[in-house]
Structure 1
Amino acid sequence: MFPCKSASSPSAGPADGLEEAMPRPQAHAPRGKAPAAHATVAPPARRRSGLGRLLRVLVLVTVWGGLALAAGVLFFAWDLPRPETALVASRRPAVTLEAADGRLLATSGDLYGERVRLADLPAFVPGALMAVEDRRFRSHFGLDPLGLLRAAVANWRAGRVVQGGSTLTQQLAKNLFLTPERHMRRKVQEAMLALWLESRFSKDQLIEIYLNRVYLGAGAYGVDAAARLYFGVPARRLALWQAAILAGLPKAPSRYNPRSSPEAAIRRGTEVLGAMVDAGLITAARATEEAAKMVLPPRPSGDAGWFSDWVQDDLADSFPGSGDLALRTTLDLRLQAVVEARLGALLAGPGAAAGVTQGAVVVLQASDGAVRAMVGGRDYRASPFNRATLARRQPGSAFKPFVWLAALEQGMDPSSTVSDQPLTLGGWSPGNGRWRARGEVSLEEALAHSINTAAVRVLLAAGGARAVAAVAERLGVQGRFPNNASLALGTAEVTLIDLVAGYAPFANGGMRVTPYGIAVAHGGGRSLAVPNPAPVRAVSAEHAAEMRRMLAAVVSRGTGRAAALPGRMVAGKTGTTQDFRDAWFVGIAGGLVAGIWLGNDDARPMEDVSGGTLPARLFHDVMEDTIR
């Protein structure tokens, strides 16, 4: 409120100039009497009225503003959890995995380690966390306006979200009390809970709670559980380089998991050491010395290690709580053994001769997406990185079925014709390999023989790259899709498991499935609901049947003949990337969809290995041993 000047002041009010310019009203004495010597002139009514209106507006704004503030607080706070209940220490559950037939598959230790005290930990454990996640933790009040401003500027410059502004206290509030949903209401609640935590606990207590409760991947909550899981030591005996790796996990526990992604974990740990140098906690020489020590020991392998890791990766979201879990999985141990043996033999024999060092296989049930077998590499002990679920590669011509489906949905059919003649788009001319142009071929023949020039024309007829990418995403294929005609030749980047799931609608009548590995769950003495999405209609039954017919032509008379099984209906598609860097086969047989990738981790070219050679043969061998 601005100060008001006195009515008797020579400079009073905005109307002062008007009062001197206009004649003042005269006071008149009663008839027959002289005017009083000191008669008082009343102030203008307009002036009193303006001041009153201003006071009324201020009162109304205060009252309604207070009511609006109260309503806002009530809106955001009415369903807030009781913070005290989330701070109660949780017991340490164990996880038991069973195969589909009930045989023991794997067991894992407690999800929660021992409760640690800040005084018992090396100083660099909390130091590393604060250096990389919240350098001003000791000085802010739970929210960090400077950090939010810095993140906003960085995100604006990048044109996307590249940096977050959440404090450790906000992260703690989210992890303890809230769901992972991302919307404005949850962010406001997160801020309110962060302020409550700051008022309730000291900074040392907050960082201690965080270290005991933060999720650090592979089902491990708290720094002690993670230290035992990844390094085989309690948290109080962590080395600096180990603490740096753990401090890097909260950003993305799955991506930087030392068990499944050791190289990514080491890179992230090195970043944390650099942040500690910037924060003045260690010297650059010490950081270099510790980075050189970052060697993650291979985890002892059990049966189906890649599958077990994959199944347990999302347990925190699927089964929140602290009870012991007994999980019946979808894994078929006999089929898993066949896949492991056949892939191992191929890599040791013809694969080695052709310069192939790695491979991955996923077999799922076409009707609902249950994963029956999964191999994520050559040797789990040597490399637990799961190439079936985490590695993104170009699928080559194995992506073409989504182009063909888009064309069917635009009114074409398997007998529709397309030119296989050379073409040039903006200086780019796709080649056809050994195929000799015939002029016009049917869609079925073009897919069977994987004709690249025809594929580009089919993509253009189907509406272009964006339309085809939308079809692939609708069927469950997530990846990076270029917005140009090269997408017809498989220049997207996808995972094997997504690609296999994308073929399932061609086998099951048009239903999209989501791959899953847990069929039945028990915890705390009762059955638990398993959050497996049900199949949903993604393709018409007619188009699904037409796609399966054309994919069968690939195997019967096209590039996938090596996958054929006598007396069995087999459908599928081959895929080969430039310079033979990746070779794929995704096939359908006996109610199963199986995908195979062969290549090298460093993308080194293989020697003339295409999708129709070793991958198609491996599919044949696996299915021959599986389908009776």
Structure 2
Amino acid sequence: MSDNNDQSQSRIARYHGDDGSLQTSGPKRRRPLWRTILYWLLGIILLGILAGGGLFAYYASSAPKITTAQLTSQNSTEILDDSGNVISNLGAQNRTYVHSQDIPTTLKQSVVSIEDRRFYKHHFGIDPMRIISATLANIHGSSLGLQGGSTLTQQLVKLSVFSTAASDRTLKRKSQEAALAYYVEKHYSKDQILEYYINKVYMGNGVYGMATAAKYYYNQPLKKLNYTELAVLAGMPQSPTYYDPVAHPSYAKQRRDTVLRAMYENKVISKQQLTDGLNTPISSGLSVNHTVNGTDSNDKIFDAYLQQVIKEVEKKGYNPYKEGIKVYTNLNMNAQKRLYDIVNTDKYVDFPSDLLQVGVTMTDPQTGAVTAMIGSRKQNVAFGLNRATQTDRSSGSTIKPFMDYGPAIEYKQWPTFKTVQDTKYNYPGTNIQLNDWDQKYQGSLTMRKALVESRNIPAIRTLEAVGLNRATEFMAQNGMKFKSALQYSNGIGAYVSSEQESAAFGAIANGGTYRAPHLVNKVITADGVTHKFDVASHRSMTSATAYMLTDMLKGVPTATWAPGAQIPGLYQAGKTGQSGYPSSVSGIPDGAVMDAWYSGYTQHSSISVWTGYDQPNEPNHYMTTAQLSIAESIYKNLQMYMAQTQSNDNWVRPSSVQVVRHNGVDELAVVGSDWKQYLNEKDQSSSTGSSSSMVSFSSFSRDNNSSSSTSDNAASSRESESNATQGGNNDNSSSNDASSSSSSSNSESNSSSNSESNNSQSSSH
């Protein structure tokens, strides 16, 4: 017994405290590790909730105000010009407002069933149960496309105040959206909220609101539609384009059937109605001859420009048809109106027929801003083929500064007096002979003369010396990329758009910096936030290359080579270009061509013009020698108009370029290059004259409305590709109907995929 007591006492330390009392101590009992971890987790979660709540409150406090006017107004997108004047309201005329008492109950039930089944049960603007349900459904992939996490109230707030761009889907935006949804729920009834939503949603084809959609798609008022037709409308707002019952009937039926099932689950329709509805053809009741309400008659003036603005805005993540935004463009409306008059009236240019088409782009070389664009003439169809951005017509010789001579200066540092050979020549690695437009050889001549006179053989010889890889690189640096590898034949004609050429010549004009062409300056969303966009730009060539190219190209707009583009006293440069017909095409007179171009520039305006027929192989759809100056005349009249408000600045020679006296002419060379090796080369041609000789600008009429005509002497010396029976550039697809091709504004163009043998039947100049 005493042993046990001793053992017990040995396990417990005994001692007397300061007060003489007996004290004992033993091993402390530790807290389980899992409980410690749990406490920490709970603490972290609590802190997270507090921090999240604080952040939510902070963001919500900065939410913009929302008014009845915003909730009831149409989401009209304003398009403004460079002066801030509204030039178009997308969809402004395309809505018929319908009040709650006139909205069929079945439509209300349809919308609630598919968009927010608990709409009448939640009263805070957001629905936590809906959010949790949608999240779980997305995780398990079982939502069947019925509903997302946003309530109808939240969707109304988005449509009224916020942008729908993916880049704007931030925590701050979500917090503000929830706060405003709560505000709307507290200040408006459920019927009012539903009314606003039904009238505001975008329904495709420029149509806003379900009442307008009923008229557009069924040519009936809402009250006359049956439940299957109302189900079609109720399902469209999620994706108006894909659920268009006319354009995409299969997708529209799938969506309608989803709505019908949701209506059945929500006890809106019976089982028999569901079965009948699912068996009803989607085409039932659809109107065949629906039309969008009238648009502004002035839109035809800038139809192509507006078309490209919408594409650019959509590419940036905004939907101009679903959200009310302000789009500030770079459009110079006065210049646009003048350009429209130039190509659509007989005051400036003598067109042979209304079928001859045009594609024109003007950019600011200093910024890359597209200031004017026109994609057709004599066209009344909205958003028709935009020939200013199409890339299926050959550029002819306007490509030579970028594929041939520009790379020669940039990579090989050729001086402007470098001798090039205009002698009998076959494409590299082939027995295909290339000829010039006049079927003659000039022997040895300077690079300057070869470029100004647009000799084909020297151009391809230069390309061969440069190499296709280097030439392709230089083209890409100047905004002209191709899906297929370039061929030697592309050195006298590539498939690019006037928009691409305008920007590329703009890079030469500004001293060697390529700035991507862009139409949109900024976007202001409905919440008042301004979104500005970076413009892609980079050094695409040295200042020496740019200056030397300009100095040579100054020799083109003269009485001899491009009389239609000559503007006495104006410092300008440019390049002509035409593409001829294959020899296999019969009935084409000598000198006739498919395409005629002129691309020219000052320091402030770069303009590229294409002219031709959409179906060039149709009878009489060719351009005669007398008509080749039309492109030049369009350029001249627009450039003269711009010169009235722009300074007339000459280019200043950079320190990297030196003047070399060669054969009595001031030529140019890159400082530090071995240009002396080219001095002894024989040039049998006469000089084209000093490009620095300019007539006093005072002799230039500041508002000359007369059209430019070509003299007989100039016409006889003009480029005429079809006279060359071999060599040059031809795309057999040019015989296709150009009007059926899709207009593309992408940076990638379609290069010719034909072999040189297929490309050898026409020449380019």
Using the size of structure 1 for normalisation, the TM-score is 0.59
Q: Which residue of 1 aligns with 2:209?
A: 223
Residues 542, 322 of structure 1: alpha-carbon distance in 2 compared, 3 angstrom cutoff: closer
User: What's the CA shift for 1:141?
Assistant: 2.5
* CA deviation string 1:170-220 (max 9, x = no partner): 86565445446544x8355566677778888699877654444446799x7
Please tell me whether residue 59 in structure 1 is matched to residue 72 in structure 2. no
| Cα distance in 2, alignment partners of residues 278 and 623 from structure 1 | 56
Q: Which residue of 2 aligns with 1:387?
A: 386
User: What's the CA shift for 1:619?
Assistant: 2.2
Letter of the aligned partner of 1:29 in structure 2? N
Q: Which residue of 2 aligns with 1:489?
A: 490
Residues 300, 322 of structure 1: alpha-carbon distance in 2 compared, 3 angstrom cutoff: closer
Q: Which residue of 1 aligns with 2:169?
A: 186
Bigger RCO (CA 8 Å, 6+ sep): 2
Residues 599, 407 of structure 1: alpha-carbon distance in 2 compared, 3 angstrom cutoff: same
**Structure 1 segment 1-20 matched on structure 2, within 5 A:** none
The equivalent position to 1:594 in structure 2, one of 590, 607, 612, is 607
Letter of the aligned partner of 1:141 in structure 2? R
Please tell me whether residue 338 in structure 1 is matched to residue 337 in structure 2. no
Q: Which residue of 2 aligns with 1:38?
A: none
User: What's the CA shift for 1:571?
Assistant: 0.4
Letter of the aligned partner of 1:387 in structure 2? N
Residues 235, 381 of structure 1: alpha-carbon distance in 2 compared, 3 angstrom cutoff: farther
Letter of the aligned partner of 2:375 in structure 1? G
Please tell me whether residue 86 in structure 1 is matched to residue 66 in structure 2. yes
Q: Which residue of 2 aligns with 1:155?
A: none
| Cα distance in 2, alignment partners of residues 101 and 191 from structure 1 | 34
Secondary structure, aligned partner of 1:89: helix
Q: Which residue of 2 aligns with 1:30?
A: 5
The equivalent position to 2:597 in structure 1, one of 564, 571, 585, is 585
Letter of the aligned partner of 1:588 in structure 2? G
Letter of the aligned partner of 1:362 in structure 2? T
| Cα distance in 2, alignment partners of residues 455 and 172 from structure 1 | 60
Residues 543, 377 of structure 1: alpha-carbon distance in 2 compared, 3 angstrom cutoff: same
CA contact (8 A) 2:576 2:598 kept: yes
* CA deviation string 1:330-386 (max 9, x = no partner): 32344431222259987653x75xxx5x43333455556676654332334245426
Residues 85, 462 of structure 1: alpha-carbon distance in 2 compared, 3 angstrom cutoff: same
CA contact (8 A) 2:516 2:537 kept: yes
- Structure 1, gaps ≥5 residues long: 1-26, 36-43, 152-163, 257-263, 522-527
CA contact (8 A) 1:128 1:276 kept: no
**Alignment RMSD (CA, Å):** 6.7
User: What's the CA shift for 1:504?
Assistant: 2.4
Secondary structure, aligned partner of 1:331: helix
Please tell me whether residue 273 in structure 1 is matched to residue 244 in structure 2. no
| Cα distance in 1, alignment partners of residues 623 and 88 from structure 2 | 33
- The structure with the largest helix share of the pair is 1
| Cα distance in 1, alignment partners of residues 84 and 59 from structure 2 | 41
User: What's the CA shift for 1:63?
Assistant: 1.5
Secondary structure, aligned partner of 1:505: helix
Residues 32, 604 of structure 1: alpha-carbon distance in 2 compared, 3 angstrom cutoff: closer
User: What's the CA shift for 1:58?
Assistant: 1.9
Letter of the aligned partner of 1:360 in structure 2? G
Secondary structure, aligned partner of 1:377: coil
Q: Which residue of 1 aligns with 2:126?
A: none
Residues 574, 125 of structure 1: alpha-carbon distance in 2 compared, 3 angstrom cutoff: farther
| Cα distance in 2, alignment partners of residues 552 and 529 from structure 1 | 42
CA contact (8 A) 1:359 1:378 kept: yes
Secondary structure, aligned partner of 1:547: helix
Letter of the aligned partner of 1:86 in structure 2? I
Secondary structure, aligned partner of 1:29: helix
- Structure 2, gaps ≥5 residues long: 11-25, 119-128, 142-146, 261-276, 586-592, 641-700, 702-765
| Cα distance in 2, alignment partners of residues 284 and 414 from structure 1 | 77
**Structure 1 segment 15-414 matched on structure 2, within 5 A:** 29-31=4-6, 49=30, 52-68=32-48, 70-71=50-51, 78-80=58-60, 85-86=65-66, 88-90=68-70, 110=92, 116-117=98-99, 120-121=102-103, 138=117, 141=130, 144-145=134-135, 174-179=158-163, 182-183=166-167, 186-188=169-171, 208-214=195-201, 222-223=208-209, 236=222, 268=247, 270=249, 273-276=252-255, 279=258, 286-288=281-283, 293=288, 295-296=290-291, 299=294, 302-303=297-298, 305-307=300-302, 310=305, 330-332=333-335, 333-341=337-345, 349=353, 352=355, 358-364=357-363, 366=365, 374-385=373-384, 387-388=386-387, 393=392, 396-397=395-396, 398=398, 401-403=401-403, 405=406, 408-410=409-411, 412-413=413-414
Q: Which residue of 2 aligns with 1:472?
A: 478
Please tell me whether residue 622 in structure 1 is matched to residue 634 in structure 2. yes
Q: Which residue of 2 aligns with 1:547?
A: 549
Residues 101, 145 of structure 1: alpha-carbon distance in 2 compared, 3 angstrom cutoff: closer
| Cα distance in 1, alignment partners of residues 498 and 235 from structure 2 | 30
| Cα distance in 1, alignment partners of residues 7 and 361 from structure 2 | 117
Residues 53, 89 of structure 1: alpha-carbon distance in 2 compared, 3 angstrom cutoff: same
Residues 85, 195 of structure 1: alpha-carbon distance in 2 compared, 3 angstrom cutoff: closer
CA contact (8 A) 1:116 1:212 kept: yes
| Cα distance in 1, alignment partners of residues 363 and 537 from structure 2 | 17
CA contact (8 A) 2:395 2:579 kept: yes
Q: Percent identity?
A: 16
Secondary structure, aligned partner of 2:599: strand
Residues 124, 71 of structure 1: alpha-carbon distance in 2 compared, 3 angstrom cutoff: same
CA contact (8 A) 1:572 1:588 kept: yes
| Cα distance in 1, alignment partners of residues 208 and 177 from structure 2 | 19
Residues 57, 383 of structure 1: alpha-carbon distance in 2 compared, 3 angstrom cutoff: closer
